[in-house]
């Protein structure tokens, strides 16, 4: 876990060091006479510096034609999971709102034991099982945003929910129902590389980690790679085809290898 946080800090530092010319100014503000005079004034100057930088980034949409500076990115993926000798189905919608250097990102991951499990929970025969997570990066930062590259990081929460049920066959029916939900803190880092100036093709790499839930394990560590190909590129809307490969390890015991495909709609 310490390595993940070290990487997280390094990632932020790298982006700031490359792109935030304001870092030196912020250090100067905090060390200057203004901050020595009062913490409130120091806070005001730091917020002002961040806001001024946010305005410069927002201007890139008009001046440099980087449409994603202010955008809503949505996608729906579906695919299969190989995990510890068994297979599962997965449904994975996601939405990300970008406003300059700030963003918020929400996704749902539903993992189901069978297609009938995904379709309905009302069938009283057989066995069904599901594991779902609701992942919200409450505050995310696009701390490097150029024509070719976007580096991002986020802090948020993930809530997992498990449902299971067994119905016996025969004259006597025994039903077992269980539903549990827990919430964990989560950090994420990501890198996007765009092959052209119109963002029609890109590769997205992402790492997510939930710090240790107990002394023994963390809830999830996830590494994923996605490829986006534009199917339609209009003035305010882009439709993309998406391929994704993900490795995830849950509770230090369950390895999941996931292949997904889907479609994305970006409002630009």
pLDDT of residue 122: 39
Q: Cα–Cα distance between 24 and 29 in angstroms, integer?
A: 9
47 lies in a domain? Answer: no
207 lies in a domain? Answer: yes
Share of the chain above pLDDT 90, in %: 45
State the burial class of residue 68 (Cβ atoms within 10 Å of its Cβ: 0-12, 13-18, 19+).
buried
3-state secondary structure at position 215: coil
- 20 Rama sector, left if φ>0, alpha if ψ -120 to 50, beta otherwise: beta
Range list of β-strands (E), 11-121: 70-83, 86-99, 102-112
54 lies in a domain? Answer: no
**pLDDT for 245 beyond 60:** yes
What total number of domains does the chain contain?
1
3-state secondary structure at position 188: strand
Cα-Cα-Cα-Cα dihedral sign, residues 113, 116, 119, 123: negative
9 lies in a domain? Answer: no
Question: Do the strands 201-209 and 149-167 form a parallel or antiparallel pair, or are they unpaired?
Answer: unpaired
Q: Cα–Cα distance between 262 and 197 in angstroms, integer?
A: 23
Arithmetic mean of pLDDT, 87-95: 93
Q: 38-47, 109-118, 165-174: lowest mean pLDDT where?
A: 165-174
Calculate the average pLDDT of the chain. Answer: 79
Q: Cα–Cα distance between 77 and 90 in angstroms, integer?
A: 8
- Segments forming the whole domain that contains residue 262: 67-267
pLDDT of residue 17: 54
81 lies in a domain? Answer: yes
Share of the chain above pLDDT 70, in %: 70
pLDDT of residue 84: 77
- Residue 32 — very low, low, confident or very high, per pLDDT cuts 50/70/90? low
Q: Cα–Cα distance between 167 and 256 in angstroms, integer?
A: 27
> Domain holding 155: CATH number?
2.40.160.20
34 lies in a domain? Answer: no
For 145-176, the pLDDT digits (tens) are: 899 999 999 999 999 887 765 444 444 444 44
Neighbours of 186 (CB within 10 A): 24
Cα 235 off chain centre by = 26
pTM of the model: 0.80
7 lies in a domain? Answer: no
For 183-206, the pLDDT digits (tens) are: 889 999 999 999 998 889 999 999
221 lies in a domain? Answer: yes
């Amino acid at each position: 876990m310490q390595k993940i946080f070290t990487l997280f800090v390094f990632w932020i530092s790298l982006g700031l060091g490359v792109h935030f010319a304001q870092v030196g100014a912020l250090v100067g503000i905090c060390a200057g006479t203004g901050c020595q005079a009062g913490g409130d004034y120091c806070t005001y100057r730091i917020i002002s510096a961040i806001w001024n930088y946010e305005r410069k980034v927002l201007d890139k949409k008009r001046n440099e034609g980087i449409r994603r500076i202010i955008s809503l990115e949505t996608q729906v993926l579906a695919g299969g999971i190989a995990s510890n000798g068994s297979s599962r189905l997965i449904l994975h919608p996601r939405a990300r709102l970008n406003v300059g250097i700030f963003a918020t990102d929400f996704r749902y991951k539903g993992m189901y034991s069978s297609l009938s499990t995904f379709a309905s929970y009302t069938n009283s025969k057989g066995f069904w099982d599901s594991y779902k997570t609701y992942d919200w990066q409450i505050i995310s930062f696009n701390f490097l945003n150029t024509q070719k590259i976007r580096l991002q990081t986020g802090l948020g929460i993930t809530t997992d929910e498990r449902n299971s049920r067994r119905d016996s066959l025969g004259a006597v029916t025994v039903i077992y129902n269980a539903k549990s939900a827990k919430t964990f803190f989560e950090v994420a880092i990501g890198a996007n590389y765009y092959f052209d100036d119109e963002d029609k093709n890109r590769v997205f790499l992402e790492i997510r980690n939930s710090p240790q839930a107990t002394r023994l394990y963390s809830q999830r560590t996830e590494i994923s790679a996605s490829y986006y190909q534009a199917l339609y590129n209009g003035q305010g809307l882009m439709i993309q085809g998406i391929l994704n490969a993900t490795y995830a390890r849950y509770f230090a015991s369950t390895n999941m290898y996931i292949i997904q495909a889907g479609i994305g709609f970006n409002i630009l």
